[in-house]
């Protein structure tokens, strides 16, 4: 019984930590979108235009998944914590991948 409570507390702490990361990532998504909409990131050729469109689509999809995940988070549902942790990990990984793509795009269009 004590071990189960400790495990539940650890899961709860992990979920809270990941929730904090997701909230921070959600704020960063808004910043990245602002950067992409800036004149310094205007596409210089058709390939860049397509990449920019894809990045904006990816950002919108990620924002939507973030909001859906925020709505479903309920730490009190102990039986679904492992599934919730996995979804949160996937979201964090998706954000990191998108952040890398945006960084590469900014470098390609600005040259710095």
Segment 79-101, tens digit of pLDDT? 577 788 888 899 999 999 999 99
Give me the pLDDT at residue 90, please. Answer: 93
Are residues 78 and 84 in contact, defined by beta-carbon separation less than 8 angstroms? Answer: no
* Claim: this prediction has a pTM higher than 0.95: no
Q: Give the pair of three-digit tokens for residue 45.
A: 């050729």
| Per-residue b or e along 38-72, where b marks 16 or more CB atoms closer than 10 Å to that residue's CB | eeebeeeeeeeeebbeebeeebeebeeebeebeee
Segment 41-89, tens digit of pLDDT? 888 889 989 999 999 999 999 999 988 888 877 645 555 777 888 888 9
Give me the pLDDT at residue 2, please. Answer: 47
């Amino acid at each position: 019984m004590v071990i189960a409570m400790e495990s539940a507390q650890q899961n709860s702490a992990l979920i809270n930590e990941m929730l904090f990361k997701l909230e921070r990532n959600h704020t960063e998504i808004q910043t990245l979108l602002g950067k992409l909409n800036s004149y310094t990131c205007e596409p210089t050729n058709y390939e860049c235009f397509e990449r920019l469109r894809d990045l904006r689509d990816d950002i919108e999809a990620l924002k939507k998944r973030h909001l859906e995940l925020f709505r479903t988070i309920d730490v009190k549902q102990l039986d679904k914590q492992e599934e919730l942790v996995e979804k949160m990990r996937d979201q964090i990984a998706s954000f990191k991948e998108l952040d890398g793509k945006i960084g590469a795009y900014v470098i390609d269009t600005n040259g710095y």
